[in-house]
């Protein structure tokens, strides 16, 4: 993906001390980074604030992360914003999140236009409140022709539901005679997941120190490198992204085989 080297240098000009842009090889970046944004509630509670303030601060961290990903020239950034299990949260918090998704998307559309970012959604959008659903459709529409980074928001997403849906689609096609059982292979499944056409993430970041996948991209993360940070999501910034990439570049990726013998 296109990268403006001068803009990137300027973006990373004031180092916090432990890391600089020169600590990563910008020619070998992961093409798709995915993030489980966790810890908004705890970030707020630690400051004596309502959990909702943590989600609002989380939006700022997400805006910076989109910009960082564009500056670095990633092909894709995906984030887990709302799971199929998150409906179990208090109704007030669910309402606030749905409202925040809608208002943020409208507010950030100019950024997506300016940075040529193409939006995608992972998950079952039909179950969302109408306002949120409509704004998401508008976002999809307005960015469909953009050719820069893909930004995929997982909303009402659950990996098991996604795979169950793919199995049903395949079963329907087989029973209608449109697909032969011999053609049901890994690519037939991958092309019926919400992520169809996106490369698998090479790096998964999870904030707030939890060591769980939480029903996120179980198929797509088969060979992904993980980076878990104790940082709460609202504190995540361009520098933590760089630390994650530095850790990723220090790994020896074998994909089940043997390298460097």
Q: Catalytic residue numbers? A: 38, 86
Per CB under 6 A, 34 contacts ligand FPP: no
Per CB under 6 A, 151 contacts ligand FPP: no
Per CB under 6 A, 101 contacts ligand FPP: yes
Helices 91-114 and 51-72: crossing angle in degrees, nearest 10, is 20
The DSSP bridge partners found for residue 119 are: 151
Closer to ligand FPP by CB, 122 or 170: give it.
122
Closest distance between ligand FPP and the C-beta of residue 14, in Å?
25
Candidates 30, 38, 70, 84; binder of ligand FPP (CB under 6 A) is 38
Among 23-31, 51-59, 138-146, 168-176, the segment contacting ligand FPP (CB under 6 A): 51-59
How long a stretch of residues is the chain? 261
Check if the beta carbon of residue 214 is closer than 8 Å to that of residue 80.
yes
Handedness of CA 70, 71, 77, 81 (dihedral sign): negative
Count of residues in contact with ligand FPP, rule CB under 6 A: 19
Per CB under 6 A, 78 contacts ligand FPP: no
Q: Helix, strand or coil for residue 115?
A: coil
Closer to ligand FPP by CB, 29 or 77: give it.
77
Task: Pick out residues in 204-243 that bind ligand FPP (CB under 6 A).
Answer: 208, 233
Element (H, E) at 227: strand 225-228
Structure tokens of 216? 């996120």
Task: Pick out residues in 160-179 that bind ligand FPP (CB under 6 A).
Answer: none
Check if the beta carbon of residue 84 is closer than 8 Å to that of residue 118.
no
Per CB under 6 A, 39 contacts ligand FPP: yes
Closer to ligand FPP by CB, 58 or 201: give it.
58
Contacts of 237 (CB under 8 A, 6+ apart): 61, 64, 65, 68
> How many Cα neighbours within 13 Å face the side chain of 28?
11
Helices 238-249 and 51-72: crossing angle in degrees, nearest 10, is 60
Closer to ligand FPP by CB, 86 or 249: give it.
86
Per CB under 6 A, 150 contacts ligand FPP: no
Binding site residues, ligand FPP, CB under 6 A: 37-42, 55, 58-59, 62, 81, 86, 97, 100-101, 104, 153, 208, 233
């Amino acid at each position: 993906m296109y990268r403006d080297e001068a803009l990137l240098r300027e973006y990373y000009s004031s180092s916090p001390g432990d890391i600089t842009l020169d600590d990563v090889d910008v020619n070998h970046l992961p093409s798709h980074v995915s993030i489980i944004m966790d810890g908004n509630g705890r970030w707020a509670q630690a400051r004596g604030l309502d959990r909702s303030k943590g989600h609002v601060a989380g939006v700022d961290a997400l805006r910076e992360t989109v910009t960082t990903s564009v500056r670095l020239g990633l092909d894709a950034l995906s984030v887990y914003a709302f799971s199929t299990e998150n409906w179990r949260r208090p109704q007030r918090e669910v309402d606030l999140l749905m409202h925040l998704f809608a208002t943020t998307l409208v507010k950030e559309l100019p950024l997506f236009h300016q940075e040529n970012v193409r939006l995608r959604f992972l998950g079952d959008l039909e179950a969302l409140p109408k306002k949120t659903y409509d704004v998401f459709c508008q976002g999809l529409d307005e960015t469909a022709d953009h050719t820069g980074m893909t930004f995929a928001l997982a909303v009402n997403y659950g990996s098991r539901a996604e795979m169950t849906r793919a199995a049903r689609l395949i079963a329907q096609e087989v029973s209608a005679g449109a697909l032969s059982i011999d053609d049901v292979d890994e690519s037939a499944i991958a092309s019926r997941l919400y992520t169809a056409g996106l490369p698998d993430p090479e790096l998964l970041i999870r904030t707030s120190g939890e060591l769980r996948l939480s029903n996120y991209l179980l198929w797509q993360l088969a060979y992904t490198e993980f980076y878990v940070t104790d940082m709460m999501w609202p504190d995540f910034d361009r520098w933590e992204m760089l630390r994650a990439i530095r850790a990723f570049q220090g790994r020896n990726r074998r994909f089940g085989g043997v390298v460097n013998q």
